[in-house]
């Protein structure tokens, strides 16, 4: 059995690395696709609030 | 000319047949060639061209003699695909399946019927320890489980079985020191040529096993840290007057959007937070900028969601569009004390109410989906390649799955 897995050792190593990253992300609440945060950190490490457009975006309906 | 010798009368050969067809090319293994294959020494003692009685398909067969054990083997060659054939004393049972299909099941293999035919000998040279012309009375059935093949040669009342195995051309070339120019060009897919991805079973078992483990891990995290509400905040827009709409000389100060501030809450560890927004909308829109503030470090995280919901009746049909809910995820939020600021705004003179729920331990389903896609991409490609390969293999058969 080990011999057969040796034939996919690179794939298996990469997949296990990915699984490790998956577990770490699950424990730390890190989303791979990014999140909805719009703030950009400034030099002091604090974020700047972008208050959005504060107006109605162009909208069409029937 | 092909002659036969009878035991006890080796000096008067009997003329059996004059072949009209001759090899169209120089033989890869001329009779008399010495070499080795699969760790055994061999001498090429005979060569035949055969065809199926009912079709034009023809192939070559080299008769090999092991000079040490005085046993015979054969190398069959069809469109550049080599097969090493040895007799076996084992008997196998053929199981008839649906339609014209049949199988041979053994402990380790599942052979499927690939071809049935009666052979015709078009040409022969060298020595054979039997009258090869008698083979024209045989009914042959080939069962494959690549890279292996079982061959049944059936006479009226008896059957002989052979075990065949795919051989790479390079193995023949090296074993018999064949000049590259004499090696035939390989075409199409061989009957027992192994499909790409020889490690398929290991790949399939490993990837599916890990996929199941990922799903279990995700469920385990959900049970270990269930989603919990940290804050539930009701909000309402004020009657706003956008600054741009107020004349510069107006004595009326513009009323900016009202800020709603949640009660402080603790985030106990580094995690993701989910924000569920709901608005009571009736042919309205509302824009809700949300700011999460870490009270200890001052660091802020923000996002803006716009919700709109319109409905009506047109030409006797009711319609609606938009949504009264929206959600957002802020990931990788450090432990600490936080509060949320909201700045909901909508049209002048309208008031929209709603609520915001902040939850901890939101399940990150997208991580699961993305990891599964990445994990299974390579096995999926291999699977499709193998499927395509098998399709090509069985196109040469009248007994394949597609028939």
pLDDT of residue B362: 87
pLDDT of residue B382: 92
- Mark yes or no for CB contact B300/A48 under 8 Å: yes
Residue B376, chain A, CB below 8 Å: the answer is no
pLDDT of residue B229: 94
Is the N-terminal amide bond of B347 cis, ω within 30° of 0? no
The 10 Å Cβ neighbour count of residue A52 is 19
Residue B331, chain A, CB below 8 Å: the answer is yes
In this structure, what DSSP letter does residue A51 have? Answer: -
Could you say which residues from 203 to 262 on chain B have a Cβ atom under 8 Å away from some Cβ of chain A?
203, 206-207, 210, 213-214, 217-218, 221, 242, 257
The helix/strand/coil state of A17 is helix
**A29-55 residue pLDDT tens:** 889 988 888 876 644 444 444 444 444
Compare all CA atoms of chain B with the CA of A45 and give the residue at the minimum distance: B299
Q: Taking the model in full, what pTM does it have?
A: 0.70
Total CB pairs under 8 A between chain A and B:
148
Q: Give the residue from B194, B371, B376 with the most A CB atoms within 10 Å of its CB, the best one to mutate.
A: B371
pLDDT of residue B301: 94
- Mark yes or no for CB contact B332/A31 under 8 Å: yes
Compare all CA atoms of chain B with the CA of A14 and give the residue at the minimum distance: B375
Compare all CA atoms of chain A with the CA of B305 and give the residue at the minimum distance: A52
pLDDT of residue A35: 85
pLDDT of residue B205: 92
Mean pLDDT score across all residues of chain A: 71
Chain B residues in contact with A11 (beta carbon < 8 A): 203, 206-207, 378
The CATH number of B228-362 is which of 3.40.570.10, 3.30.1360.80, 2.60.120.380, 3.30.930.10? 2.60.120.380
pLDDT of residue B159: 87
- Mark yes or no for CB contact A15/B304 under 8 Å: no
Q: Give the residue ranges of chain B where pLDDT is below 50.
A: 240-256, 403
Spans of all domains in chain B: 2-194, 228-362
Compare all CA atoms of chain A with the CA of B201 and give the residue at the minimum distance: A4
Residue B323, chain A, CB below 8 Å: the answer is no
């Amino acid at each position: 059995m080990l011999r057969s897995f040796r034939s996919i050792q690179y794939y298996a190593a990469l997949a296990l690395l990915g699984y490790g990253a998956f577990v770490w992300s699950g424990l730390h609440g890190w989303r791979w696709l990014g999140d909805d945060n719009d703030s950009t950190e400034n030099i002091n490490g604090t974020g700047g609030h972008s208050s959005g457009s504060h107006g109605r975006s162009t909208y069409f309906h029937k | 000319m092909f002659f036969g010798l009878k035991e006890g009368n080796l000096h008067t050969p009997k003329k059996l047949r004059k072949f009209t067809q001759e090899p169209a090319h120089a033989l890869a293994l001329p009779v008399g060639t010495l070499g080795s294959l699969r760790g055994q020494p061999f001498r090429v003692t005979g060569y035949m061209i055969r065809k199926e009685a009912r079709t034009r398909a023809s192939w070559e067969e080299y008769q090999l003699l092991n000079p040490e054990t005085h046993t015979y083997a054969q190398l069959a060659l069809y469109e550049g695909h080599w097969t090493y054939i040895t007799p076996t004393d084992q008997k196998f049972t053929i199981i008839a399946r649906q339609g014209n299909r049949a199988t041979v099941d053994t402990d380790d293999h599942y052979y499927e019927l690939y071809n049935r035919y009666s052979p015709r000998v078009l040409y022969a040279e060298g020595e054979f320890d039997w009258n090869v012309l008698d083979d024209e009375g045989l009914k042959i059935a080939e069962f494959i489980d690549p890279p292996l093949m079982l061959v049944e040669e059936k006479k009226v009342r008896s059957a002989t079985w052979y075990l065949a195995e795919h051989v790479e051309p390079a193995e023949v070339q090296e074993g018999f020191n064949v000049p590259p120019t004499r090696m035939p060009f390989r075409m199409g897919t061989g009957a027992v040529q192994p499909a790409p991805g020889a490690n398929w079973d290991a790949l399939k078992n490993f990837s599916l096993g890990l996929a199941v483990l990922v799903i279990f891990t995700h469920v385990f995290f959900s049970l270990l840290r269930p989603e919990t509400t940290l804050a539930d905040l009701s909000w309402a827009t004020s009657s706003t007057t956008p600054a741009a709409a107020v004349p510069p000389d107006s004595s009326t100060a513009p009323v900016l959007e009202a800020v709603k501030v949640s009660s402080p809450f603790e985030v106990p560890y580094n995690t993701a937070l989910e924000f569920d927004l709901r608005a009571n909308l009736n042919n309205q829109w509302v824009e809700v900028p949300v700011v999460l503030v870490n009270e200890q470090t001052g660091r802020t995280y923000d996002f803006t969601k716009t919700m709109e919901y319109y409905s009506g009746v047109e030409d006797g049909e009711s319609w609606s569009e938009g949504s009264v809910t929206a959600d957002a995820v802020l990931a990788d939020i450090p432990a600490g004390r936080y509060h949320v600021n909201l700045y909901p705004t909508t049209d002048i003179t309208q008031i929209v109410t709603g609520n915001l729920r902040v939850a901890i331990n939101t399940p990150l389903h997208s991580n699961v989906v993305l990891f599964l896609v990445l994990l299974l991409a390579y096995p999926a490609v291999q699977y499709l390649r193998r499927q395509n390969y098998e399709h090509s293999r069985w196109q040469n058969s009248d007994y394949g799955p597609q028939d």
